[in-house]
Amino acid sequence: MLITIDQKIAELLNSFYVDGWPVGNFILVIIALVLALLLCGLIGVEREVRGRSAGLRTHLLVGMGSCVVMIISIYGFPNQSGNRDVARLAAQVISGVGFLGAGAIIYRNAEAKGLTTAGTIWLSMAIGLACGSMNFILAILATAIVMTVLLGLRRFEKWIALRNPTMVIRGPSSSALLSKILEICDKYDYTASNLFSEKVQSGQEEQVEITFRAMARDRKQDRLEDFLKELRDGSGAYSVQVMEH
């Protein structure tokens, strides 16, 4: 059977008694709760700084709740005879938080937003379970990897996204805006994919909003800046927005 460092620490503290009182268990639970608070709070702060819908409090609640459920699963049924399945409650937490994460995803104009936040909510749950099951080193390593992905890979992801940007363009509904956009795309060797258009009301004026992903046909040519300038100046649009992923 594989024995980890965390398990050895848990065994040592579980066997620590003072005048017949299991003080070691109490210390172990405090360590688990504090660690879940710090690690999930770190992820939540990053989401809060980014201005996402689920921030510090949400990630803290998910992580702490998962940790508490795991602790209850281990220590909460002392009088139950026979072999207990301590993973049963954890399985229910995984299913429940999956629905919570889905609520952070917004789908609009053929574009999904909030996928990263949904992922961090789910990971906060996993880190909370790791803390509650006394797998402290695993929880710390997982948090370090998550923060590296969220902070270190953001610029790289943004660079990739800008190679094939998602555009949101608004203009007068009476103009041939779509035709002009397609003409500019063809001029700069871009393909408009996932195209979606709808009429929107802005004050007393009816406008058209067009969303599409600009796919460069020739990857070797970087004409994005000129392409965006042409869309802003030559399409007759009121606004041209590049959406972040």
Q: Tell whether pTM > 0.85.
A: no
Residue 176 backbone dihedrals phi, psi, to 5 degrees: -90, 60
Same domain, 114 and 29: yes
**In contact, 162 and 224? CB cutoff 8 Å:** yes
Angstrom distance (rounded) from CA 147 to CA 39:
10
144: containing domain: 5-152
* Domain annotation covers residue 88: yes
Percentage with pLDDT > 90 across the chain: 20
pLDDT for the residue numbered 78: 66
Residue type, 58: T
pLDDT for the residue numbered 113: 67
Same domain, 143 and 23: yes
The 3-state DSSP class for residue 16 equals coil
pLDDT for the residue numbered 37: 95
- Give the domain CATH number at 188: 3.30.70.260
Tell which of 84, 118, 152 closes a domain. Answer: 152
Residue 229 predicted with pLDDT over 60: yes
Structure-model confidence comparison of residues 217 and 161, the more confident one: 217
pLDDT for the residue numbered 104: 67
pLDDT for the residue numbered 35: 95
When pLDDT is averaged across residues 114-122 and rounded to a whole number, the result is 83
Residue 238 backbone dihedrals phi, psi, to 5 degrees: -75, -40
Highest mean pLDDT among 80-94, 96-110, 128-142: 128-142
**In contact, 93 and 69? CB cutoff 8 Å:** yes
Picking from 123, 124, 119, the residue whose alpha carbon sits closest to that of residue 105 is 119
Residue 80 predicted with pLDDT over 80: no
As for how many domains the chain has, the answer is: 2
